[in-house]
Amino acid sequence: MPQTYLVIVNERDEAKVSLRFAAKRALKTDRSVDVLAIVEPQEFVSWGGVQAAIEEEDMLRVEAAIAATVGEIVESSGLKPNIIIRQGDPIKVIKEIIHERDDLASLVLGAAPGKNPGPIVKHFTGEGAGDLPCPVLLVPGGLDDERIELLA
């Protein structure tokens, strides 16, 4: 039986909102949360050492941002999410993970307020959404804590 909410987290505010929502929902439904952070590939630099340093810097930046975000969730809810960090194209990485796992209750995405919800939201709620192996839970990035508590 699907038991895990997979939340895509980055440095954007709407990602933090979606994680707070998923954590509250998981606590109420006795499920778990996996947090997926993706380090996107950088433009190729012809000097190998420079490329490696850039990639390492990006990884450290993502790890620090995720640690801070997850720390807030642990502190406020007591829920301890599993953290997954992968490198690659975000769309491809997410597709790989959701297709290889059968324990996912839903893919949780935070939508940015305004006309552009973000490229990941556009992709997973647009063409091909009907072929996904799990539901997509779209969390509006403008929700406040009171509303999250009410809706979760």
SS3 140: strand
The residues facing 18 across adjacent strands are none
Q: What mean pLDDT, rounded, does the chain reach?
A: 89
Q: What is the C-alpha separation between 140 and 27, in angstroms, rounded?
A: 20
Average pLDDT over every residue of 20-34: 95
pLDDT at 81 over 70: yes
pLDDT at 148 over 70: yes
Closest Cα to residue 82, out of 35, 27, 37?
35
> Taking the domains of the chain in order of start, what are their residue ranges?
4-151
Q: Which residue has the higher pLDDT, 48 or 102?
A: 102
Average pLDDT over every residue of 80-108: 95
pLDDT at 51 over 70: no
Domain 4-151 class in CATH? alpha beta
- Give the pLDDT confidence score for residue 78 in this predicted structure: 85
Q: Kindly indicate the confidence band of residue 58, based on its pLDDT and cuts at 50, 70 and 90.
A: confident
